[in-house]
Structure 1
């Protein structure tokens, strides 16, 4: 599974609709509206790199209100949930 973090600059007057449209795209697992320089952060999870080429330039970038994107591909996860499950002995 490939994870990409997509930083989206969006038109201020279209922000809620743009964020919702991005969240509904297949391959986007989460979309967050943010304060600061970036308007929306989208987490994209797809099986392979070829799918990134479809989801980001062909779908996210074409959503009305998207002005610009900056994509970062993750190569390792350090989430607490994954760390805890790695060391779990199966006890509840």
Structure 2
């Protein structure tokens, strides 16, 4: 399983519309409106790099209101549960 985070800059009047389109795409598990330099962040979970490439180049690229994206691949998961186990002293 491959996890990626994609950040989106979107034309302001189309943020909600694009977020809904993204949320309905297979492979995108979560979509968040966010503060900062980007408007939306999407969590992608796919089987392989080829699936991510298809999602980005064939599906997401078809949405005209997207101005810019940045895709980050996740290397390792650090959940709260994992961190608690790491620092646990066995109490």
For 2:22 and 2:47, how far apart are their aligned partners in 1?
A: 18
Instruction: Note the alpha carbon deviations across 1:34-76, whole angstroms, 9 max, x for none.
Output: 1221100001100001101111121122223111111000110
TM-score, length-normalised on structure 2? 0.85
For 1:62 and 1:29, how far apart are their aligned partners in 2?
A: 19
Equivalent pairs, count:
85
Correspondence 1:5-84 to 2 at 5 A = 5-81=5-81, 83=82
For 1:65 and 1:79, how far apart are their aligned partners in 2?
A: 33
For 1:42 and 1:56, how far apart are their aligned partners in 2?
A: 12
Which shows bigger deviation, 72-81 or 5-14?
Answer: 72-81
Q: Structure 1: give runs of 5+ residues left out of the alignment.
A: 88-92
Flag as ranges the 4+ runs of structure 1 deviating above 2 A. none
